[in-house]
Amino acid sequence: MSGAPKLQSLPEAASPDTASPGALPCHVAIIMDGNRRWAEARGLPVALGHKAGAEAVRRTIEACVQQGVGWLTLFAFSSENWLRPADEVKALTGLLRLYLRSEVATFAKEGIRLRVIGDRARFGTETVREIDQAEAVTAGGTRLNLNVALSYGARAEIVAAAQAIAAAAREGRLDPDAIDEASFARHLFTADMPDPDLIIRTSGEQRLSNFLLWQAAYAEFVFQDVLWPDYGAEHLARALRDFGRRERRFGARTG
């Protein structure tokens, strides 16, 4: 993202276009969809669609801080994305490394803690080292917990958790009768994170695409008909207002 503007210093006060009235979600998760279609509609290379999507990431991070959202999880690269054309995968992974290099200092300064969930080992030693360093540098951030899902697939996450629990039981470190939802969740990538209250998907598609299947059990969903590179603070505010109007019962009957 050479030459692109970096994340701006974040104001202490909320922006004028806030989501109130209504409850604010603690944790917002976003399936960022539409980079490819955005580029194709403009006759541009797909790589430029992903670059424009990175700018939308910056705007969305700023908006979450301004709105007071404490947790943001972005679905950036799925385990299935490895099956895309090699040049697109190369562009995506290169953009990831450039983003880490350009943003980590600002994240640390602005109190944003970055964590990556997913099978990071698939990105190679150098990229893994940069991810680890970015997480370490931003570990003290308390203003926004930013989780980026990379090489992530929810089914693989659940299978890995089941395998870890089975191994612990086989080795006598875990009583099978003691396994419950809480103990299972401790073996997921999101072990110490709250479940998402709100999941947003852009581009008009209405599916989870193997994202946070366990964690989304009682999430609210908002589907927005905007391609991700065009996403901004006003779109997030609309989604938060929609969330604030909903009655969350978590399976309990009312009336």
Q: Binding-site residues, please?
A: 33-38, 50, 78-80, 82, 84, 201, 207-209, 220
Identity of the residue numbered 141: G
For residue 33, indicate whether it is catalytic.
yes
State the binding site for substrate. 34-38, 50, 78-80, 82, 84, 201, 207-209
DSSP-H helix ranges across the chain: 35-41, 46-67, 86-110, 125-137, 154-170, 181-185, 233-244
Task: Give the Cβ contact number of residue 21 at 10 Å.
Answer: 9
Torsion sign (Cα): 52, 54, 58, 61: positive
For residue 230, indicate whether it is catalytic.
no
HSE of 145 in the Cβ direction (CA atoms, 13 Å)? 13
Please write down the long-range contacts of 246-255, taking CB distance under 8 Å and 24 or more positions apart: 246/220, 248/23, 248/197, 248/218, 248/220, 250/218, 251/218
Residue among 17, 81, 230, 242 flagged as catalytic:
81
Pairing of strands 198-201, 112-117: unpaired
Residue among 33, 145, 147, 197 flagged as catalytic:
33
Tell me if 12 sits within 8 A of 111, measured CB to CB: no
State the binding site for Mg(2+). 33, 220
Which phi and psi (to 5°) does residue 150 adopt? -125, 135
- Closest by CA to 107, choosing from 131, 143, 71, 77, is 143
CA distance 80 to 137: 29
Q: Annotated active-site positions, please?
A: 33, 81
